Amino acid sequence: MAVKREIRRVPPPRPDFLINWFRGVWAEDKVIDAINQPCGYWFGLRYGPSRGDINDYERLKSYLRRLDEAMRRYGKRPDVLVFRREDIEQGIINASLDLRERENAEIKSVIEQSVIALEVRSSLWSVREAENYGKELSFTLKKEDIKFVRLWEKTYNKTVFYVQVFYDAIYGILFEKLVKIATRKKPRKFSKTGKLTYTVPLHEGVKFAELKEEPKLEVRIWRHKGNIIPYVVFTGGLFELTPEFDREVSRLCKS
C-alpha cells in the first residue's frame, strides 16, 4: 500500500544545502569504496536514485519530485545493495550495473540476489575527537523516513542496515533495532533541518569501518542566475571495513 507524502519543497541554493548535498554523495562513495576493496567477501552497488546534475536547478527540482513519487509507491530505496562477491565473480551479478535509473520492476531479480541494503547518512563529526572530549555521538533518524524505509523492506523482504559516516569512522545498526530504540522517547526538532529527529547512541551499533586515509577539502563555486555561491566539499579519503562488518553480514546470510 502506497504511503502518502507531501511533495518536498526544493531548498534555495544556500551554501549549507550544497555542503550537505555533496557530503552525502561523498559518504555513499566511501561506503562503496570500503566494501569493494579487493579480497573482500562482499560487493556494493549504488541503488538509491541518481542525484542528477545539481548545477541545473530545474533538473534538481525534477529529481526531488521523482524521488517523492517513487517513495510513495515502493518506499525509500536504500542507497546501496550489498551482494556476495562470488556472485559478481561468477557473473551472476554484473559489477558494472547502474541500478539508480532503473525501475524496481525491471531489476527485481537483482534486488532479490542482494544480501542486505544500506541506508547511508553522514555527519560532520570526528568520533575520535568527540570521545576525547567526553562526548558520545549518535545515529540520527528522521521520523518521516521510518515508514518509507519499512515500506521498502516489506516490499522486497530485505534487511536494511542504517549506516552513519563520520569523518573518521563508519558505524552501522540494523534499521529495525534503530527504530525500536529510537521510538522509546520523543523525537526532537533539529534546528538545522526543522525535522523531527531521533538520536540513538553509537554504542547500540557496531563500527563498520575505520579511516585509513584522510579526505581533502576542495572549494567550489555554484552559479545560480548570476549569484556566485562558494562552498567546500570532501574529496578522496579511504575507509577500511572492520571484522564486525563481515560478521554482521555473514550472520544475516545464515539467518
pLDDT tens-digit readout, 221-240:
888 778 888 889 999 999 99
pLDDT for the residue 57: 67
pLDDT for the residue 126: 96
- Model pLDDT for residues 94-138, shown as the tens digit of each residue: 999 889 878 888 999 999 999 999 999 999 999 999 999 999 999
pLDDT for the residue 227: 81
pLDDT confidence band for 17 (50 / 70 / 90)? confident
pLDDT confidence band for 81 (50 / 70 / 90)? very high
pLDDT confidence band for 56 (50 / 70 / 90)? low
How large is the average pLDDT for residues 195-199? 93
Share of the chain above pLDDT 90, in %: 62
Number of other residues whose CB lies within 10 A of the CB of residue 16: 10
Crossing angle between the packed helical segments 175-182 and 146-156, to the nearest 10 degrees: 150
Is 60 exceeded by the pLDDT of residue 10? no
pLDDT for the residue 1: 52
Is 70 exceeded by the pLDDT of residue 255? no
Is 60 exceeded by the pLDDT of residue 6? no
Check: CB of residue 63 under 8 Å from CB of residue 49. yes
Q: Report the C-alpha gap between 82 and 71 in whole angstroms.
A: 21
- The residue with cell 575520535 is 128
b/e per residue 200-224 (b: at least 16 CB within 10 A): bebebbbbbbebeeebeeeeeebee
Q: Which candidate, 145, 148, 151, places its Cα nearest to that of 182?
A: 145
CA dihedral 95, 113, 161, 37 (to 10 degrees): -30
pLDDT for the residue 123: 93
Q: Report the C-alpha gap between 218 and 235 in whole angstroms.
A: 7
Q: Write the DSSP assignment of 104-118 as a string of letters.
A: GGGGHHHHHH-SEEE
pLDDT for the residue 9: 58
pLDDT for the residue 245: 94
How far, in Å, are 159, 181, 190, 191, 218 from residue 198 at the CA level? Answer: 20, 9, 9, 13, 31
Q: With H, G, I as helix, E, B as strand and everything else as coil, classify residue 98.
A: coil
Q: Report the C-alpha gap between 17 and 59 in whole angstroms.
A: 16
Is 60 exceeded by the pLDDT of residue 3? no
Q: Report the C-alpha gap between 48 and 62 in whole angstroms.
A: 16
Check: CB of residue 178 under 8 Å from CB of residue 161. no
Q: Please, what is the average pLDDT of the chain?
A: 87
Q: Report the C-alpha gap between 104 and 111 in whole angstroms.
A: 8
Q: Report the C-alpha gap between 79 and 47 in whole angstroms.
A: 5
Is 90 exceeded by the pLDDT of residue 69? no
Q: With H, G, I as helix, E, B as strand and everything else as coil, classify residue 231.
A: strand
pLDDT confidence band for 40 (50 / 70 / 90)? confident
Q: Which residues contact 110 (CB under 8 A, 6 or more apart)?
A: 81, 93, 97, 99
Of 16-25, 130-139, 150-159, 240-249, where does mean pLDDT reach its minimum? 16-25
pLDDT for the residue 133: 96
Q: Which residues contact 238 (CB under 8 A, 6 or more apart)?
A: 30, 33, 34, 211, 212, 213
pLDDT confidence band for 75 (50 / 70 / 90)? confident
pLDDT confidence band for 190 (50 / 70 / 90)? confident
